[in-house]
Amino acid sequence: MAKITLKGNPITTSGDLPAVGSQAPDFQLVNGKLADVSLQDFSGKRKILNIVPSLDTPTCATSTRKFNEKASQLQNTVVLVISADLPFAQGRFCGAEGLNDVIPLSTFRSSFAQDYGVEVVDGVLKGLTARAIVVLSPDNRVIYNQLVNEIADEPDYERALAVLG
């Protein structure tokens, strides 16, 4: 379990992020058409997992916008925005913002938050995901990870993108 904070108040996650160098756990997430999506659906591509608590919060919205801006410039890379928001809400947010270069996926009907160690297990955000970035190689090896210590802070975009060259 990892210890992080929300506006200075301690909260705990269900585990730890997959370690750099390890094989990423497979997942089943839900897309905007309510279809299950797995890690294998992005086989052969580099993947940025932008894991956020909810797109209805300012920091999550900002990180999604920033990764959308960067995603169009990345070769052979997909940016997956993963949150506990329902697929309908994710679709409304991305549609209203004109965010077409990220793929929103919901942890709805999924064990992703537990499998990746990002489920918040106490405090006001219990049941949502912590803020984290996991970057995967085309063969699904973890090449970068960051669990953001203060959930209200943005992730380190530059370090996450730097591992992609």
What are the structure tokens assigned to 88, written together?
Answer: 């309908």
Measured at the CA of 45, the angle between CA 74 and CA 82, to 5 degrees, comes to 80
What are the structure tokens assigned to 148, written together?
Answer: 């953001």
Between CA 76 and CA 89 the distance in angstroms is 27
E strand or H helix that includes residue 6: strand 3-6
Q: DSSP string covering 62-116, please? A: HHHHHHHHHHTT-TTEEEEEEESS-HHHHHHHHHHHT--SSEEEE-TT--HHHHT
- Strand 28-30 relative to strand 132-136: parallel, antiparallel, unpaired? unpaired
Between CA 17 and CA 20 the distance in angstroms is 9
Active site residues: 60
